Structure 1
Amino acid sequence: MRVPVIDQETTEHSDAPIERATRWLVTSNDPPRPLVPYLRKTFQLSAVDAIRVIRRANALRGPL
Protein backbone atom coordinates (compact mmCIF):
# COMPACT_ATOMS: atom_id res chain seq x y z
CA MET A 1 0.00 0.00 0.00
CA ARG A 2 1.35 3.40 -0.95
CA VAL A 3 1.11 6.31 1.43
CA PRO A 4 0.21 9.60 -0.26
CA VAL A 5 2.78 12.35 0.01
CA ILE A 6 1.38 15.65 1.21
CA ASP A 7 2.92 18.73 -0.33
CA GLN A 8 3.34 21.13 2.60
CA GLU A 9 3.18 24.18 0.34
CA THR A 10 -0.09 23.04 -1.23
CA THR A 11 -1.57 22.30 2.18
CA GLU A 12 -0.67 25.75 3.47
CA HIS A 13 -2.22 27.44 0.45
CA SER A 14 -5.42 25.44 0.80
CA ASP A 15 -5.83 26.78 4.36
CA ALA A 16 -5.46 30.39 3.21
CA PRO A 17 -9.20 31.01 2.64
CA ILE A 18 -9.94 29.55 6.07
CA GLU A 19 -7.37 31.82 7.68
CA ARG A 20 -8.69 34.89 5.82
CA ALA A 21 -12.26 34.08 6.78
CA THR A 22 -11.26 33.50 10.41
CA ARG A 23 -9.47 36.86 10.60
CA TRP A 24 -12.47 38.56 9.01
CA LEU A 25 -14.92 36.95 11.43
CA VAL A 26 -12.83 37.75 14.52
CA THR A 27 -12.72 41.43 13.54
CA SER A 28 -16.37 41.68 12.47
CA ASN A 29 -18.61 43.39 15.00
CA ASP A 30 -21.89 42.40 13.35
CA PRO A 31 -21.40 39.62 10.78
CA PRO A 32 -24.31 38.88 8.43
CA ARG A 33 -26.76 36.10 9.21
CA PRO A 34 -27.05 33.29 8.31
CA LEU A 35 -23.30 33.07 8.64
CA VAL A 36 -22.47 29.70 7.06
CA PRO A 37 -23.93 30.53 3.61
CA TYR A 38 -22.24 33.94 3.73
CA LEU A 39 -18.84 32.42 4.53
CA ARG A 40 -19.28 29.79 1.82
CA LYS A 41 -20.12 32.34 -0.85
CA THR A 42 -17.67 35.06 0.15
CA PHE A 43 -14.62 32.88 0.83
CA GLN A 44 -15.47 29.91 -1.45
CA LEU A 45 -15.55 27.47 1.48
CA SER A 46 -17.27 24.15 1.97
CA ALA A 47 -19.86 23.88 4.72
CA VAL A 48 -17.34 21.96 6.84
CA ASP A 49 -14.72 24.69 6.37
CA ALA A 50 -17.26 27.40 7.23
CA ILE A 51 -17.97 25.64 10.52
CA ARG A 52 -14.22 25.32 11.09
CA VAL A 53 -13.90 29.10 10.62
CA ILE A 54 -16.64 29.77 13.16
CA ARG A 55 -15.04 27.44 15.70
CA ARG A 56 -11.59 28.99 15.23
CA ALA A 57 -12.97 32.51 15.51
CA ASN A 58 -14.84 31.61 18.70
CA ALA A 59 -11.69 30.08 20.18
CA LEU A 60 -9.65 33.19 19.34
CA ARG A 61 -12.25 35.48 20.90
CA GLY A 62 -12.23 33.48 24.12
CA PRO A 63 -15.06 33.17 26.63
CA LEU A 64 -17.74 35.82 26.66
Structure 2
Amino acid sequence: MAGRILDDRFHETCVVEQAWQMFSARRTEADYQAWRHQRDWTAEKYRRFDRGERMPPDWRAGA
Protein backbone atom coordinates (compact mmCIF):
# COMPACT_ATOMS: atom_id res chain seq x y z
CA MET A 1 0.00 0.00 0.00
CA ALA A 2 2.77 2.48 0.91
CA GLY A 3 4.53 1.75 -2.38
CA ARG A 4 1.37 2.53 -4.31
CA ILE A 5 0.96 5.84 -2.47
CA LEU A 6 4.56 6.78 -3.26
CA ASP A 7 4.08 5.80 -6.92
CA ASP A 8 0.91 7.92 -7.11
CA ARG A 9 2.65 10.84 -5.42
CA PHE A 10 5.61 10.57 -7.81
CA HIS A 11 3.27 10.47 -10.80
CA GLU A 12 1.33 13.52 -9.54
CA THR A 13 4.60 15.41 -9.04
CA CYS A 14 5.68 14.62 -12.60
CA VAL A 15 2.31 15.75 -13.98
CA VAL A 16 2.48 19.04 -12.06
CA GLU A 17 6.07 19.68 -13.17
CA GLN A 18 5.15 19.03 -16.79
CA ALA A 19 2.12 21.33 -16.56
CA TRP A 20 4.25 24.06 -14.94
CA GLN A 21 6.82 23.81 -17.74
CA MET A 22 4.10 24.22 -20.36
CA PHE A 23 2.51 27.11 -18.46
CA SER A 24 5.72 28.99 -17.71
CA ALA A 25 7.01 28.63 -21.28
CA ARG A 26 4.19 30.92 -22.39
CA ARG A 27 4.67 33.58 -19.69
CA THR A 28 6.66 36.76 -20.10
CA GLU A 29 8.39 38.84 -17.45
CA ALA A 30 5.45 41.27 -17.73
CA ASP A 31 3.07 38.44 -16.78
CA TYR A 32 5.08 37.68 -13.67
CA GLN A 33 5.35 41.39 -12.80
CA ALA A 34 1.58 41.78 -13.11
CA TRP A 35 1.10 38.78 -10.81
CA ARG A 36 3.55 40.23 -8.24
CA HIS A 37 1.80 43.59 -8.38
CA GLN A 38 -1.61 41.98 -7.81
CA ARG A 39 -0.21 39.86 -4.95
CA ASP A 40 1.32 42.91 -3.26
CA TRP A 41 -1.80 45.00 -3.74
CA THR A 42 -4.00 42.27 -2.27
CA ALA A 43 -1.70 41.96 0.75
CA GLU A 44 -1.83 45.73 1.30
CA LYS A 45 -5.61 45.75 0.93
CA TYR A 46 -6.01 43.10 3.65
CA ARG A 47 -3.50 44.86 5.92
CA ARG A 48 -5.66 47.97 5.66
CA PHE A 49 -8.83 46.01 6.32
CA ASP A 50 -7.22 44.39 9.37
CA ARG A 51 -6.34 47.84 10.73
CA GLY A 52 -9.89 49.05 10.12
CA GLU A 53 -8.84 51.57 7.48
CA ARG A 54 -11.00 52.50 4.56
CA MET A 55 -9.72 52.25 1.03
CA PRO A 56 -8.92 55.58 -0.61
CA PRO A 57 -11.80 56.82 -2.79
CA ASP A 58 -9.61 56.67 -5.91
CA TRP A 59 -8.24 53.15 -5.37
CA ARG A 60 -8.19 50.71 -8.25
CA ALA A 61 -7.27 47.07 -7.94
CA GLY A 62 -4.31 46.23 -10.13
CA ALA A 63 -3.50 49.87 -10.86
TM-score between the two structures when normalised by the length of structure 2 = 0.37
Instruction: Mark the structure with the bigger radius of gyration.
Output: 2
Going by fraction, where is helix more abundant, 1 or 2? Answer: 2
Of structures 1 and 2, the one scoring higher in RCO (CA 8 A, sep 6+) is: 1
